[in-house]
Amino acid sequence: MQDKHLQYTETDYLIIGSGIAGITAALRASETGSVLLITKRTTIDSNSNYAQGGIASVMSDVDTFEDHISDTMICGADLCHESVVETIVRSGPDAIRKLMDYGVEFSKRPQNKTELDLGKEGGHSHRRIIHAGDITGHEVKKVLIQRLLERPNVTVKEYHSAVDLITSKKVGHNKENTVLGAYVLDIKNHQVITIKSKVTILASGGAGKVYLYTTNPDVATGDGIAMAYRAGARIKNLEFVQFHPTCLYHHEAKSFLISEAVRGEGAVLRLKDGSSFMEKYHPMGSLAPRDIVARAIDFEMKRTGDDCVYLDITAKSKSFIQARFPNIYTECLKFGIDMSTGYIPVVPAAHYFCGGVASDLFGRTNLKNLFVCGEVACTGLHGANRLASNSLLEALVMASNVVDVAQQIVKTEKPPLFDLPHWNTGKAVDSDETVIVSHNWDEIRRFMWNYVGIVRSNKRLERAKRRIDILKQEIDEYYWDFVITNDLIELRNIATVAELIIQFALHRKESRGLHYNIDYPESDNEWLEDSIYENGKFLEGALL
């Protein structure tokens, strides 16, 4: 990769990530400036695309904002920020109507085709899940992408992977640390592009691939969290990793989620002998919040020695199942499982990060001109455990909120007059030992699953810390010695995120929500605050 191949470009808005948050932000941003959206695979590839359940919002007369707020707060184990919850929940109906205006067709009730068919999921007191069959994320993204491609001032770059954010501090300007753009790898042409932007919006999703078993696609490697942290952004509540209770267990299946909506329609979790068990753990049984269900499954699997538990929806008719869950039904059939007549084998898998880059209700971070939205952000909505289907709601609302503020910067602030420095490869050479990348990737994911998973202990966390310290040193040396590739970028990022998760998990001396440590099995009100980490240390009682 020689200097003659380097490229330089400028834009008003640089948006990193093509999930629902990124595309929604791009649509709004295109009304006030030029937009460059980059994504490291195709535009359709993201966690959002695989969201089956739907979007939680109050859309019926029997439901109330107060009930949705209460459900969210209870699920979040007292760490949700109530003002944030209220604002996002009350913004839900407008966000849904905006999607319908774009052309998204949500499922209607079989008995009344003019009314939305509202589903129910774990932790919800009412039916409030707006969905498009059981492929909601895909249907929403498909329409949003169509609308995005109609905008003449939007440029979409597929197979472009962000390497690092460019800050004023890094380029030698000592004023308030400001994000000026990013270095981006053009994967297919093996070129690093320098992008200068007035505003940078991270919408890069989560980091499920940090774990061995995950419902996430391969792109979920925590790039945004890692880049933001390296640039000096505050990271918040990263100990709270949500493990979805029901990922399909089959040796040929890869990361296929069995939606919580299946339990919302009456499916029951059972052991191999057919006995149900969730009533022992929570009054809501199989519809308990995800942290409780995932831990219960983990405990039962360890107690019995079984490789999985089972989901039983055979009480519903075949016609109902095929109509309500056509994609899940078809996918299960590929593996010889007829969910209308038999049980679905399931196990928990890493699913969603409730923590992320600390932001306010407008996506602002502690770095000037850097905004975040979607799973990469930690707004205070989810607290210690996310209520089902609140993620797409947050993505839609926050993407609009971000642009409300960011457009003022684009309209009024003048970008720095100086050009940003080109990417410098130094003495890096092409690597002939790529096996090191795959080996380190595999090792990180395995010890994160074994030591920093659903149930943790001080001993396991310390063991994980020793391993990541060694691997981080190896990876950093490799990163600077060899020409970067997308695989190397992703490895560096999952190592950074893994190190952060371990630090956060060691820091919180209690069990709360998704963070369960057998050495501190109870919640402690002295820890009733956010964990905030910046430049290698935790901030005491700090608020953004």
Structure-block tokens of residue 206 = 């989560």
Count of CB atoms within 10 A of residue 105's CB?
A: 11
70 CA to centre of own chain = 23
Task: Tell me which amino acid residue 265 is.
Answer: E
CA distance 338 to 63: 34
Question: What's the rounded Cα separation, in Å, for the pair 354 and 239?
Answer: 8
Rounded CA-CA distance 397/88 in Å is: 6
Task: List the one residue out of 274, 297, 269 whose CA is nearest residue 285.
Answer: 269
- Cβ atoms within 10 Å, residue 524: 12
Alpha-carbon separation of residue 215 from 285, 454, 508 (angstroms): 23, 15, 26
Residue tagged active-site, from 234, 290, 295, 508: 290
Cα separation, 140 vs 138, in Å, equals 6
- State yes or no: is 290 an active-site residue: yes
DSSP string of 157-182, one letter each residue: EESEEEEEEEETTTTT--SS-BEEEE
The encoded tokens of residue 309 equal 């538990």
Tokens standing for residue 130: 């707006």
Is 276 exposed, middle or buried (CB count within 10 Å of its CB: 0-12, 13-18, 19+)? middle
Rounded-to-integer distance, Cα 447 and Cα 214, Å: 14
Give strand pairing partners of 8: 194
For residues 88 and 382, what is the distance between their CA atoms, to the nearest angstrom?
Answer: 11
> For residue 525, how far is the Cα from the chain centroid?
28
**Contact yes or no for 185/66 (Cβ under 8 A):** no
* Strand 129-130 to 118-119 pairing: antiparallel
* Helical pair 136-149 and 390-412, crossing angle rounded to 10 deg: 20
Chain centroid offset of residue 6 CA? 31
In sequence order, what are the residues at sequence separation of 6 or more whose Cβ sits closer than 8 angstroms to the Cβ of residue 412?
none
Beta bridge partners of 15: 37, 201
Checking DSSP bridges between strand 7-16 and strand 191-202, what pairing results, if any?
parallel
For the record, the structure tokens of 480 come out as: 């600077």
Which residues is 243 bridged to in the sheet?
350
Give the residue from 195, 196, 275, 290 showing the smallest Cα distance to 241.
Answer: 290
Count other Cβ atoms within 10 Å, centred on residue 14. Answer: 28
Measured in residues, the chain has a length of 544
Find the Cα–Cα–Cα–Cα dihedral 374, 76, 369, 497, rounded to 10°: -70
Q: Which residues carry out catalysis?
A: 290
